[in-house]
Structure 1
Amino acid sequence: MDHELSQSLSAPFHAQLHSPDGNLHITLEQEPNGPLFYTVMNNRYRVLERSPLGLITDQYKLQQGIRIQGVEHNTITERYELVTGKQKSQSYEANELVLLTSVENHQVRIRFRAFHDGVAYRYELQGEGDIRFENELSGFHLPEDRMLNVWAQPFMRCYERTYDHAMPDHLRGRHFGFPLLVQSAEDHWLLLTEAAVDGRYGASHLAADEQDGRKLRIAYAPDQETPIAAKLPLSTPWRVMIIGSLRDLVSSSLTTHLCPPPVLQDTSWISPGRAAWSWYAEGDSCGDMEIQRQHVDFAAEMGWEYSVVDGGWEGVLDAPQLIHYAKARGVGIWLWTHYKGLNTEELREEKLRLWASWGAVGIKVDFFDSDNQETLQVYDAIAESAARHRLMVNFHGSTKPSGEHRTWPHVMTREGVYGAEYYRAQSEGPNAVHLCTLPFTRNVIGSMDFTPVTFSRRTTTTQGLQLALAILFESGIQHYADAISVFADHPGMPLLAAVPAVWDETRLLEGYPGRFVTIARRSGVEWFVTSICAAGGRDVHIPLDFLEDNTAYRAVIYREQAEADEYRYRSVLPPIEVHTETRCAKDTIKIRLKVYGGVSIHLTPQAENK
């Protein structure tokens, strides 16, 4: 660590930070007595123009009259393990610049970190006592010198909208949820989000300037009716820029790198898994003991770890009896609850202690529908109380993730996505364009409870695409949506029994938001590969060079039956065919995908199949 001397108010200020590989360059600057700005470059490409920094509190404004007292430079290396996610074993290097500032005799540190795959910063307010935040001035000024493609989700409190492709001019005066995706050159991408969000500050989103859609700023929750109330010292959430190729974005774990280590010493009771789920097929089934037993039996048959009992069970279902029945069959039971049933300490202790005493393994907590500080404090309290009672958590009707599954490893997933439940209520629901966008947006930043795989509902996708979602979408608890009778007779059933819910490695092989995506995921020595596409259909070439050399693999390929016209969408969907081949690392699998189609491949070393 080195420490530079303080600067005079009358002198301009300039400092730089570089990523460990030297590709990313961050410049901080201040005109005499003026506000602070930062710019970000990726080699010769400008990622962000001169973008503002600052806060407005009830005690001072970190906006003008800022004195630079010094600069610290640090290097960070870290290795850690995650219980769930796209890659369990994590490691990273980062360079850090800490700007030591004072304004009106108040001390504020602005901490920047540069990683191989991105940049982040936060404000660290020193001192003691109470403080109120009236506004945050942090901004992201997208490049002005070129055409940009943007994929942005109009802000909604439960984050259940599509990420729409737009030009910057279309953003003007509107609010958008994190994450927001930007393409500035052929393979130069930026994903904006936030990390380490909790109830000490609350969650944020993006607001575009009324005149210039390339100027985005941090905005507080629309139902944050009073200033954010906090106690010093305090660190704000990180403002995060994931930068690089689409492959860099998909494999990035930047949000977890920025979160504190686990608060739990013993995580042996936490286990990712797949779940049977009756609500999608029969919404009023959750109080029916016979139907719930059938789902437990099916989960046991499939080798799935869990069955989720959704809304409507309380006061109707004999949950202790079901849990006893399920435990005898090696299946754990999750119980649904409205968040208002847990929004006081008395309610949390009463219900969670009771449900844990029955033997429930997890809770699905629904209908938060807010990013305000008070609601984020309820998230925190539920996570803490659930951990004490050894209950895993799935947050539904929720804000987006921000890396918290590192700090709270029993928080297995959250919704915050326009998911499969909308197939029940709408004529179309999530289409193939949306499904081809989620791997580059929402699922980059954390587990996503989309509740995939439905064959029985009428959608504008094919059976091949629906089956592929079991691999494509990562979630620590994977609810499979359709009815038992549909899955039981489907040729894709062996794949659904085999796909795990946690991964050792994730690779993007090819893709473009809204058009097509091919992803490979590894669990142990097995690989699961999937490819889907939107309008037009396409020929997909999948090189298998990620496999071990000099090893033969058994490839089980789940694809749709061939037709004379592969590129025309059919309302009567062709069934799945299953083929088994022997493949090795030198091979390339070539498959023609139908319009809105998909393929899934399960690869295991042949020695593993003896």
Structure 2
Amino acid sequence: MLSLPRFAACVTTVALAAGGLAAPATAAPPGTWTVSQRGMSAQVSLVDGTPRLAVTHGGRTVLAAAPVGLRTTGADLSTGLAYVGQQRRTVVERYDMTTGKRHHRESRLAELRLSLRGAGGARLDLVVRAAADGVAYRYELPAAATITGEASAFSLPAAAPAWLLPYNAWYEQNRVATTAGGAGTGEFGYPSLFQVGDDFALLTESDADGRYSGSRLSHAAGSGEYRVTLADAAVTARRTPWRTAIVGDLATVTESTLVDDLATPSKVRDTSWIQPGKVAWSWLSDHPSPANFERQKQFVDFAARNNWYAVLVDEGWSAEWVPELVRYARARGVEIILWFHWSDLDTAEERDTVLPLVRSWGVRGVKLDFMESDTQARYQWYDAVLARTAELHLMVNFHGSTIPHGLARTWPHIMSMEAVRGAENYPLPAGNPIQAFTRNVVGSMDYTPVSIDTGIQRASVAHEVALPVVFESGWTHFADSPEAYESHPEALRYLDQLPTTWDETRFVAGHPSGGAVLARRSGDRWFLGAISAGPARTMTAPLSFLGAGRWLVEVVRDAPGPRADVVRSALVRTARDTLSVDVPVNGGFAAIACRALPGRTTCDRELQHVPTSTLGVTPMGETDTPKGSSFEVTATFRTDRAVRDLRLAPRAPAGWSVTGAAVTRRTVPAGVAVSGRWTVQVGAGSADGYVDLPIVATFGTAGWSGRVHVEQAVTAFVPPPAPTGEPYVSDLPFVAETNGWGPVERDRSVNESGGGDGNPLTIAGVVYEKGLGTHAPANVTVYLGGRCTSFTAGLGLDDEITQPGSVAFRISGDGKVLFDSGVLRPGPAVPATVDVSGVRMLTLSVTDGGDNKNFDHADWVDARLSCQS
């Protein structure tokens, strides 16, 4: 498993061009200004006070003059403007990325800043940049103002072919092939692609964050003009994002990094902790599996066998077993990523509670889902959650998200964003090639590729295997199961060799209408991916991207037979050759190329694996540890392979202290035991409830880059105050809780997945003030400390369900079942009274009644204890 180098800080060089100082206001105002870079030009005109902007490439008009400007509550800065002055400069930036088309970037942009004055002396700067791969402009105001809209637009020939995305705020529609004028009246999302003669123009935006609102393109049928429409009716800002047009041939568009070049430089100085890689993901192929600890261990084992970086545990995971899964995975060289609904982290308090907790478990990243908004408020949430995850060294994948706006340059721990109709939507193969020329141009794309046995299976197996080359994503979440991949060993062999980050990307062949062939280099190896949509054909790939000399090219193609494994063949070729491969309907192929050296028969590299190790700790099982108490722990570590730089020690939870030094060894031979002993004290500031005391061994070993982390935990229970009097359960702290949908709600129904979104508890028309709202399967445990004598509650299904459900309620004391309701369906609350004398832990459970968990909103109403005072 290869670690990325520590990335250098951004270096920016800004040079004022000769004569670039602001022109005096008394100078004769010119009517047209041009800014150019290597054949790419933007022309700004000011006619009768109305500014317009056009784009030419190689002398050819690609975007005709279209309106620019904006409107605020205080002024209309799109008309009646006068020229004040100009500045010109060249902006040269060198920076590194953790993801994307290539690690090392260098951009050179010519900049024109036009200062304009409107009615009442209102000022506006129009900042225009030209690069070899496109043009961008933005507006800057002297101070923050309330912006009510932009005049910004792009003008194209009505007959220009177009590939457009009907807008929704999660960008998961099918793209439509049409013309600029033939598209219907409506809104279209970025990026939108148009062809004007020999040139293509990809329209999007860059550097959009919480300082502004997101936008889309509005269009009237028959017109070639596309106007920028903001997500908010009004937004307070001083500066807008870049309105961006990537322009050139398909190679220029596909290889462009303009969106990143325009973005705010990185806010993360040390990126050594950021790790892209391949990720096993179970949700699509085995939908209930994220709730299944044992099934997730199988995905971990698969990832470990194949040297994949991580396992993503999607919706359904439980805090009861995730820490143990993390320990299991990290001992095998695999990291864990956890899914969250964005609303789980929509407040600063949640971000400051939940994120540090999962980081303390050893989780390395989070998938955040269902943001589904381009408003300024939601963009400010992105800013806040990215700042907090960066502080905690948690990497991020955004799902149900907006498109990339260069955000991965600003926050390099973003590993991917969805904003695509990916594999979970079972897209037809016809929609795949266009993504290489549109969505994936602007940033990493979480398509979740390589569906072999899952999904609709319309694309060939080789087409699927080629997708993670054609589609770039810093984390590539593979869509299928271990069993599917292992039943296709040649396909898996190729996937195991694939990197997910690249030193170079080249467009090789293709067209948005039917196919895409891309080559990407990692170190001294090239990977080639080719996908087609439509009839069987011969696909060709010129190998001019290869360097001089002879190359071993291993081609992976479809074999005859439905869903058969791919076959591999080896050829020796040079950069002057063209690769031709016959592909079936919706087919494709992949390849890997390396230098043809004497005796070399494959480009494959040996997979890395960590040693098998054991770490035994005592005491085992649950230990009662009141605040202020102390106890002794011991640990013994051994491994089946020699290791170096071993460190073995407990990691004290907050409020705890450890007496005794870490055990260290420079080298440890295979099979040799290393032991340690420590005294641990529970501090007065310790959290109540179950607390894990991790014992951690870290070490290095030959054939593995970075350190291996092996951990076991002593589980301690810090008793909270025992209840007294007649408290409601909803007013007590929970020792543990799990819920089948969203969190357990106190004094509210469960309703939807967000915390605090419940309705009044209502059973058969009766409203109850106190109780618990749960969703099967659910468990809530509270500490009684042997001080209570009885528990009473009403049990039933909440009236908020839209279809009948069925549940069974169970009450247990210290693991012994005290009450079982049997299966209940909608109806009046069923009373339950249970003797809990001497019970230390009371657990309230709900099961699904045997017919799945749909609509199983289960209420414990008036749930109350009778305890000693």
Alignment partner of 1:380 is 2:383: yes
CA shift, 1:573, in A, is: 4.2
CA distance in 1, matches of 2:40, 2:542: 30
Matches within 5 A, 1:581-600: 581-600=571-590
Per-residue deviation, residues 143-163 of structure 1 (Å, max 9, x unmatched): 35xx31000000011100122
1:446 corresponds to which of 418, 443, 447:
443
Please tell me the residue identity of whatever aligns with 1:90: R
CA shift, 1:65, in A, is: 2.7
CA shift, 1:388, in A, is: 0.6
Q: Which has the higher contact order (CA 8 A, sep 6+)?
A: 1
SS in structure 2 at match of 1:271? coil
CA distance in 1, matches of 2:560, 2:483: 25
Per the alignment, residue 263 of structure 1 pairs with 267
Per the alignment, residue 427 of structure 1 pairs with none
Deviates more, 1:159-168 or 1:401-410: 159-168
CA distance in 2, matches of 1:284, 1:594: 34
Per the alignment, residue 479 of structure 1 pairs with 477
Structure having the larger proportion of residues in strand: 2
Please tell me the residue identity of whatever aligns with 1:36: P
- Verify the 8 A CA contact 1:195 1:259 in the aligned structure 2: yes
Matches within 5 A, 1:134-213: 134-143=148-157, 147-185=159-197, 187-208=198-219, 210=220, 212-213=222-223
Per-residue deviation, residues 414-468 of structure 1 (Å, max 9, x unmatched): 0000000012xxxxxx122210110000000000000000111333211111111
1:283 corresponds to which of 284, 287, 306:
287
* Unpaired segments ≥5 residues, structure 1: 424-429, 564-571
Per the alignment, residue 113 of structure 2 pairs with 98
CA distance in 2, matches of 1:10, 1:16: 17
CA distance in 1, matches of 2:425, 2:275: 28
2:591 corresponds to which of 593, 596, 601:
601
Per-residue deviation, residues 130-184 of structure 1 (Å, max 9, x unmatched): 521111110101135xx31000000011100122100223324210000000011
Q: 1:354 to 1:8 in 2, by over 3 A?
A: same
CA shift, 1:16, in A, is: 1.3
Per the alignment, residue 107 of structure 1 pairs with 123
Per the alignment, residue 73 of structure 1 pairs with 88
CA distance in 2, matches of 1:485, 1:314: 24
CA distance in 2, matches of 1:77, 1:415: 30
CA shift, 1:562, in A, is: 5.2
Per the alignment, residue 538 of structure 1 pairs with 537
Per the alignment, residue 460 of structure 1 pairs with 458
Per the alignment, residue 12 of structure 2 pairs with none
Question: TM-score, normalization: structure 1?
Answer: 0.92
CA distance in 2, matches of 1:263, 1:574: 47
SS in structure 2 at match of 1:120? strand
Per the alignment, residue 553 of structure 2 pairs with 555
SS in structure 1 at match of 2:423? coil
- Verify the 8 A CA contact 1:189 1:244 in the aligned structure 2: yes
- Verify the 8 A CA contact 1:172 1:213 in the aligned structure 2: no
Alignment partner of 1:356 is 2:355: no
CA distance in 2, matches of 1:350, 1:25: 50
CA shift, 1:349, in A, is: 0.7
Please tell me the residue identity of whatever aligns with 1:195: S
CA shift, 1:471, in A, is: 1.1
Alignment partner of 1:45 is 2:43: no
Per the alignment, residue 310 of structure 1 pairs with 314
Per-residue deviation, residues 292-344 of structure 1 (Å, max 9, x unmatched): 111111111111111101001145x5111111111111111101000000011
Please tell me the residue identity of whatever aligns with 2:296: Q
- Verify the 8 A CA contact 2:94 2:106 in the aligned structure 1: yes
CA shift, 1:541, in A, is: 2.3
Per the alignment, residue 569 of structure 1 pairs with none
CA distance in 1, matches of 2:461, 2:571: 21
SS in structure 2 at match of 1:217? strand
| Aligned residues with identical type, % of pairs | 36
Alignment partner of 1:239 is 2:243: yes
Per the alignment, residue 570 of structure 2 pairs with 580
SS in structure 1 at match of 2:371? coil
- Verify the 8 A CA contact 1:447 1:474 in the aligned structure 2: yes
SS in structure 2 at match of 1:201? coil
Alignment partner of 1:433 is 2:441: no
Q: 1:544 to 1:288 in 2, by over 3 A?
A: same
2:234 corresponds to which of 227, 242, 256:
227
Please tell me the residue identity of whatever aligns with 2:245: M
Per the alignment, residue 253 of structure 1 pairs with 257
Per-residue deviation, residues 345-387 of structure 1 (Å, max 9, x unmatched): 0001100111111111000000001111111111111101100
SS in structure 2 at match of 1:268? coil
CA distance in 2, matches of 1:368, 1:252: 27
- Verify the 8 A CA contact 2:157 2:181 in the aligned structure 1: no
SS in structure 1 at match of 2:290? coil
Please tell me the residue identity of whatever aligns with 2:130: A
Per the alignment, residue 494 of structure 1 pairs with 493
Please tell me the residue identity of whatever aligns with 2:445: M
CA shift, 1:582, in A, is: 2.9
Per the alignment, residue 778 of structure 2 pairs with none
Q: 1:131 to 1:279 in 2, by over 3 A?
A: same
- Verify the 8 A CA contact 1:532 1:599 in the aligned structure 2: yes
CA shift, 1:10, in A, is: 9.9
Per the alignment, residue 132 of structure 1 pairs with 146
- Verify the 8 A CA contact 2:24 2:85 in the aligned structure 1: yes
CA distance in 2, matches of 1:334, 1:465: 27
- Verify the 8 A CA contact 1:516 1:533 in the aligned structure 2: yes
Q: How many residues align?
A: 579
Deviates more, 1:241-250 or 1:67-76: 67-76
Matches within 5 A, 1:273-422: 273-315=277-319, 317-422=320-425
Please tell me the residue identity of whatever aligns with 2:436: P
SS in structure 1 at match of 2:291? coil
CA distance in 2, matches of 1:350, 1:150: 47
CA distance in 2, matches of 1:64, 1:456: 58
2:47 corresponds to which of 25, 31, 34:
31
TM-align CA RMSD: 1.8
- Verify the 8 A CA contact 1:14 1:28 in the aligned structure 2: yes
CA distance in 1, matches of 2:289, 2:378: 30
SS in structure 2 at match of 1:286? helix
CA shift, 1:272, in A, is: 0.8
Please tell me the residue identity of whatever aligns with 1:18: S
- Verify the 8 A CA contact 2:34 2:42 in the aligned structure 1: yes
CA shift, 1:126, in A, is: 1.2
Deviates more, 1:248-257 or 1:536-545: 536-545
Per the alignment, residue 626 of structure 2 pairs with none
CA distance in 1, matches of 2:258, 2:54: 19
CA shift, 1:8, in A, is: 6.8
- Verify the 8 A CA contact 1:46 1:143 in the aligned structure 2: no
Per-residue deviation, residues 535-559 of structure 1 (Å, max 9, x unmatched): 1222122232322222x43322111
Please tell me the residue identity of whatever aligns with 2:523: G
Q: 1:13 to 1:586 in 2, by over 3 A?
A: closer
SS in structure 1 at match of 2:393? coil
